[in-house]
Amino acid sequence: MPTILCLDPGTAHTGIAISEEGILATPVATVYEKDLDQLITKIMPYLIKYNPDKIVIGVPEYGPIVKLATDLSEKIYAVFPKEIIIFREDLSSHTARNVMKAQGKTILRRKKEEHQTAAALILQDYLDSL
């Protein structure tokens, strides 16, 4: 099964999730960075560690994240030429907050893990669509 890494880009935070068996998505980390070039630098260790066969980038239907996701995919491909899939997602952060609240996680923990949980939800949606 292919290893798939997912990014949930945001203007200040980017969530990272992984699926190493193509069945289950797992949250990995949240990267805090506003500058696109610095974001690539901070994402590279995860790309090297997991060496994914594919990279899924979650993108909403409209808004500033659409351009960010496109720019991010181009910059990643320039340094890590693997298949990149732009995958439509909506309300992943909202859903992530609700899931973590239902799990009884504290507000502080929910804030810390929101973006990586959103990335895992996006990746799971992608896996389920295959």
pTM to 2 decimals?
0.89
∠ CA 15-109-89 to the nearest 5 degrees?
35
CB neighbourhood size of 66 (10 A): 13
pLDDT of res. 103? 74
Please name the residue ranges forming H helices in the chain.
36-50, 64-79, 92-102, 107-129
Superfamily of domain 4-129: YqgF/RNase H-like domain (3.30.420.140)
pLDDT of res. 13? 94
Round the average pLDDT of the chain to a whole number and report it: 89
Q: Given a cut of 70, is residue 92 above it in pLDDT?
A: no
Using alpha carbons, select from 31, 110, 107, 37 the residue that is nearest to residue 76: 37
Per-domain residue ranges for the chain?
4-129
Kindly state the average pLDDT of the residues 15-43: 96
∠ CA 62-100-98 to the nearest 5 degrees?
50
pLDDT of res. 28? 98
Q: Given a cut of 70, is residue 106 above it in pLDDT?
A: no
Q: Are strands 4-8 and 54-59 parallel, antiparallel or unpaired?
A: parallel
Angle between the N-to-C axes of helices 64-79 and 36-50, in degrees from 0 to 180, rounded to the nearest 10 = 50
> In angstroms, what CA-CA distances link 51 with 64, 75, 95, 100?
28, 16, 28, 28
